[in-house]
């Protein structure tokens, strides 16, 4: 196949990754896939088997297993005739050959097929990986750019396409990991972040990609972005898969500050103020909340400042509510709490249906009024209801007035 794009009208461009599309120049041949769905399904099958050809009886059984044909070869001839007519509408080339009862894709014509280019780039990169790493990086990056999504997503439920789809998914994943390995060798964390963002669009649940992405963000001092991504994937894993992120992903956020990252004071200050949000209460993980609690308690004891803990519980039937519905309710509650509390207040998700709050510098009466207002306003505007509890961190009788 000639990979250089000719300028004549006989050049056929075929896209199979992320979507299916066939073009010749500015002409979109696959625009009417609904009326010619069987013809285009046959074309996809022919492309997938372009190296070995297709036998009519086997092809019809793979493509439409629920149908029976009295004359399978005649049925295939009719479909091939229609397909040839579409592909050769403004071209003298025959893209389909026939030999000894088998139909073959003709590789001698001018065309570009994204999966062929994708595989070729990866194969070349593997040959150059050890001797010419920069050239290999460029080829792997180009290959990942070509992977716009899964192979033939419109044919997702066709059994014959599943192993091929899985193969290209795995090839892209491995290409990404190989590229990240090369970038890690020269500590190019900014490039790892860039490639990680591309891979996470098509491979959002892959642990290794998420780990490398978080590691690179932390290495670059983009701690808030790393925390935001960790929060996002934690919710996504739970909502979509019903699981928590792996132990390795959970641990990386707790252990990154123990690594040997060499920064000057300006770099540390940039980390501390990165993405600082001046509006609303401070939201954090339960682990960070515990550390803030320790500090606030010490400060309160030393300066005589009252600090209160509050617990907000989503009052729902846990046995009947689906996890995605509960997560949506908790997300709404979180947004509401951030907006209605002070900047000095701290919020953390404590359990599957609870948020814990830290309310410094107020009296018990003020704290109770805040809890009553939160509960009344939220319950009035939502189908689900919440209940609240309030308790002083230090001896309650000291701060009742």
Of the candidates 303, 265, 280, 293, the residue with the CA atom closest to the CA atom of residue 350: 293
Q: Residue 88 domain-assigned?
A: yes
Same domain as 120, residue 29 = no
Residue 235 sits in a domain of what CATH number? 1.25.40.10
Positive or negative, the CA dihedral 227, 232, 238, 240 is negative
Same domain as 238, residue 319 = no
Same domain as 132, residue 104 = no
For the CA atoms of 45, 51, 54, 59, the dihedral, rounded to the nearest 10 degrees, stands at: -30
Q: Residue 217 domain-assigned?
A: yes
Same domain as 144, residue 75 = no
Same domain as 124, residue 83 = no
Task: Name the domain count of the chain.
Answer: 3
Q: How far apart are CA 253 and CA 101, in angstroms?
A: 60
Identify the domain containing residue 394 by its residue range: 282-399
Same domain as 203, residue 92 = no
Q: Residue 271 domain-assigned?
A: no
pLDDT per residue as tens digits for the range 136-158: 999 999 999 999 999 999 998 89
**Is the predicted pLDDT of residue 237 greater than 80, yes or no?**
yes
More confident residue, 35 or 139: 139
CB 24 within 8 A of CB 11: yes
Q: Which residues contact 111 (CB under 8 A, 6 or more apart)?
A: 1, 11, 12, 13, 14, 95
Same domain as 244, residue 199 = yes
Percent share of the chain, pLDDT over 70: 87
pLDDT per residue as tens digits for the range 43-101: 999 999 999 999 999 999 999 988 888 899 999 999 999 999 888 765 557 889 999 99
Q: Residue 216 domain-assigned?
A: yes
Positive or negative, the CA dihedral 159, 15, 115, 171 is negative
Same domain as 299, residue 179 = no
Same domain as 123, residue 236 = yes
Residue 46 sits in a domain of what CATH number? 1.10.10.10
Q: How far apart are CA 372 and CA 24, in angstroms?
A: 67
Label residue 137 exposed, middle or buried (CB < 10 Å: 0-12, 13-18, 19+): buried
**pTM of this structure:** 0.63
Same domain as 152, residue 225 = yes
CB 189 within 8 A of CB 219: yes
- Tell the residue number behind the tokens 């192979």, with chain if given: 151
Q: How far apart are CA 256 and CA 9, in angstroms?
A: 56
Of the candidates 54, 46, 2, the residue with the CA atom closest to the CA atom of residue 22: 46
- Tell the residue number behind the tokens 């992977």, with chain if given: 147
Q: Residue 69 domain-assigned?
A: yes
Same domain as 108, residue 119 = no
Q: Residue 1 domain-assigned?
A: no
């Amino acid at each position: 196949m000639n990979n250089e794009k000719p300028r004549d009208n006989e050049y056929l461009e075929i896209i199979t990754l992320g979507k299916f599309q066939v073009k010749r120049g500015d002409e979109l041949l696959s625009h009417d896939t609904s009326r010619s769905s069987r013809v285009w399904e046959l074309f996809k099958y022919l492309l997938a088997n372009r190296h070995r050809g297709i036998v009519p009886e086997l092809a019809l059984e793979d493509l439409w297993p629920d149908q029976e044909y009295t004359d399978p070869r005649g049925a295939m001839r009719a479909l091939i005739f229609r397909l040839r007519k579409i592909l050769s509408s403004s071209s003298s080339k025959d893209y389909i050959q026939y030999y000894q009862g088998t139909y073959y894709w003709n590789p001698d014509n001018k065309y570009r097929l994204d999966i062929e280019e994708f595989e070729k780039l990866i194969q070349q990169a593997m040959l150059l990986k050890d001797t010419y790493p920069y050239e290999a990086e460029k080829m792997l990056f180009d290959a990942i750019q070509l992977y716009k999504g899964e192979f033939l997503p419109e044919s997702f439920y066709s059994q014959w396409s599943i192993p091929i789809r899985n193969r290209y998914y795995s090839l892209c994943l491995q290409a990404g990991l190989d590229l990240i390995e090369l970038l890690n060798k020269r500590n190019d964390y900014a490039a790892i972040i860039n490639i990680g963002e591309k891979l996470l669009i098509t491979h959002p649940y892959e642990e290794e990609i998420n780990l490398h992405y978080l590691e690179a963000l932390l290495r670059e001092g983009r701690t808030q972005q790393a925390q935001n991504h960790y929060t996002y994937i934690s919710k996504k894993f739970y909502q979509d898969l019903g699981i928590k992120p792996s132990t390795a992903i959970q641990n990386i956020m707790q252990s990154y500050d123990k690594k040997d990252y060499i920064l000057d004071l300006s770099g540390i200050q940039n980390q501390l103020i990165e993405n600082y949000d001046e509006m609303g209460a401070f939201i954090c993980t339960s682990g960070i909340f515990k550390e803030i609690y320790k500090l606030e308690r010490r400060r309160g004891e030393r300066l005589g400042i009252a600090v209160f803990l509050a617990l907000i519980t989503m009052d729902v039937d846990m046995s009947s509510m689906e996890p995605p519905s509960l997560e949506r309710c908790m997300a709404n509650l979180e947004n509401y709490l951030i907006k209605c509390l002070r900047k000095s207040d701290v919020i953390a998700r404590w359990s599957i249906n609870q948020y814990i709050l830290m309310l410094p510098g107020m009296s018990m009466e003020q704290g109770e009024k805040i809890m009553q207002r939160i509960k009344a306003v939220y319950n009035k505007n939502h189908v689900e209801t919440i209940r609240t509890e309030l308790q002083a961190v230090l001896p309650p009788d000291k701060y009742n007035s």
